[in-house]
Amino acid sequence: MSISATAKPIAQREQTTKIGTVGDFPTAASPRSYLTPDEVDKLMVAARARGRYGHRDATMILLAYRHGLRVSELVALRWDQIDLKLGRIHIHRLKGSESGPHPLSGVVIRALRRVQKEQPGRHVFMTERGAPMTASGFFKMLRRAAESIGMANVHPHLLRHACGYKLVNDGVDTRTIAAYLGHRNLQNTARYTAMSATRFNGLWRD
């Protein structure tokens, strides 16, 4: 089964050019602040190709991206937070952020059903020894997947930022994005608006 970060393909070069980055992937001397949807797709493909737990790893990347999860929130996910029949997940935010429910897309539901079948347990994402995945374990997996396709400076929090940038570039309003990411202060959401590819559209009409 193919897992996609976006419901429809987005041209990476167009996306990166609009937002202001140059080239396909930053070098070690050029730290990145977010990932494009196309880059997230590439990371999931790379993760899926690495080892017997590739589907679990790709699903972790997908959830972190689609729901703007911090790595600590991702590895702490339990099945009692998720209702696959209703298509809902309760996001338990950390660092003083606001928790709340999110809808699950069909792609995410199907991916989670397979994870549940292959690795049943209290926590959603488990190691081969039956223990919950750790933040360091996810970081190492993500870094190795990124390095395998020539991506530099990739770390888990970029997936949360990628969610914010994707939503603002899709035209979602700031307050909705803030609520979705659990931001109590709108200033935390303003970074995404400042980098929006569409914020100045229509200022000049020729």
Band (201; pLDDT cuts 50, 70, 90): low
In a domain, 97, yes or no: yes
Chain centroid offset of residue 120 CA: 23
What residue numbers bound the domain in which 83 lies? Answer: 12-194
For the residues 159-185, what does the mean pLDDT come to?
A: 89
Catalytic annotation on 183? yes
The residue from 70, 93, 161, 166 that is catalytic is: 70
The proportion of the chain whose per-residue pLDDT surpasses 70, expressed as a percent, equals: 77
In a domain, 4, yes or no: no
Q: What is the pLDDT of residue 107?
A: 97
In a domain, 201, yes or no: no
In a domain, 174, yes or no: yes
In a domain, 172, yes or no: yes
**Cα distances (angstroms) measured from residue 43 to each of 35, 79, 107, 144:** 10, 25, 16, 10
In a domain, 6, yes or no: no
Band (198; pLDDT cuts 50, 70, 90): low
Q: What is the pLDDT of residue 30?
A: 47
The residue from 48, 66, 160, 161 that is catalytic is: 160
Q: What is the pLDDT of residue 183?
A: 84
88-91 and 100-103: which strand pairing? antiparallel
In a domain, 5, yes or no: no
What is d(CA 166, CA 187) in angstroms, rounded to the nearest whole number? 18
**CATH number assigned to the domain comprising residue 189:** 1.10.443.10
Query: Each residue of 150-184: b (16+ CB within 10 Å) or e?
Result: ebebbebebbbbbbbbbbbbeeeebeebbebbbbe
What is d(CA 38, CA 206) in angstroms, rounded to the nearest whole number? 32
Q: Tokens 């229509």 label which residue?
A: 202
For the residues 75-85, what does the mean pLDDT come to?
A: 97
Catalytic annotation on 122? no
In a domain, 203, yes or no: no
Quote the mean pLDDT of the chain.
83
Structure token pair of residue 182: 């659990």
Count of structural domains within the chain: 1
Per-residue pLDDT reduced to its tens digit, 9-39? 333 333 332 333 323 444 444 466 779 999 9
88-91 and 82-83: which strand pairing? antiparallel
Q: What is the pLDDT of residue 174?
A: 87
Does pLDDT of 205 surpass 80?
Answer: no
Say whether pTM exceeds 0.85. Answer: no
How many Cα neighbours within 13 Å face the side chain of 182? 20
Catalytic annotation on 8? no
